[in-house]
Amino acid sequence: MSIGVRAIPVPLLIWICLHFFSSIAAADGQCREPAGRLVSVQGQVQVQSSGQQTWVAVRIDDSLCPGDGGRAAVALANESILRIDQNGTLSIGSTTTGKSSLLKLMQGVLHIFSHRPNALKIETPYVSGAVEGTEFLVRAEPEKTVIIVFEGKVSAVNGQGRLEVASGQAIVAERGMAPQYITVVRPRDAVHWMLYDAYALQAIIEVV
């Protein structure tokens, strides 16, 4: 399912495309099982429901039904918190077992808090991750993916290899290559620069 997001010419607009795929809205138009709700909005936020032509403004605490798209920070139904940087494209659904949320980050930067072990699985173009908690950052670029773990552990895997990424560690996975550990000079700065300066974020990441 492909859902577009319209550019709105307002200050501090965040270019985020949240693609919610799967499931069912009740007959009255309300979600039976909302994918999440907005907890933070910067600039103007609009969503377009799947199959609809109308763009609708959303507000803090509005529910996001599967099939809706928007630009915002989101609290998932499993209590995970997602903060998405500008120019990001993210799909949110469920795994085949239905026991965890599946996040597909096609591009951009995603900062995640997840206090429930195994509540999330991450897919990017070059690496996938099984999340055991608790706080981490994922950056998907055209030629590579970077994962930085602040607390907890992420299992990073692709067709070429697998690495366990623990607290304070980071990896990079490039096209056609196995994940490899990298050194992040100032890990916590990565979150700050994620929000304000993508070039500075790149500068504090060095491959071992």
- 179 lies in some domain: yes
- 37 lies in some domain: no
pLDDT at position 98 over 90: no
Specify whether the CB–CB gap between 92 and 108 falls below 8 A.
no
- 98 lies in some domain: yes
Which domain range does residue 139 map to?
69-196
CATH value at residue 161: 2.60.120.1440
Share of the chain above pLDDT 90, in %: 27
pLDDT for 45: 54
- 29 lies in some domain: no
Residue type, 153: K
- 55 lies in some domain: no
Q: How confident is the model over 103-160, as pLDDT tens digits? A: 888 888 888 998 888 888 999 999 999 988 789 999 999 999 999 999 999 999 999 9
Distances in Å between the Cα of 88 and the Cα atoms of 12, 14, 19 are 15, 9, 11
CA contacts within 13 A on the Cβ side of 35? 27
Domains in the chain, number: 1
Question: What is the reported pTM?
Answer: 0.70
- 186 lies in some domain: yes
pLDDT for 123: 94
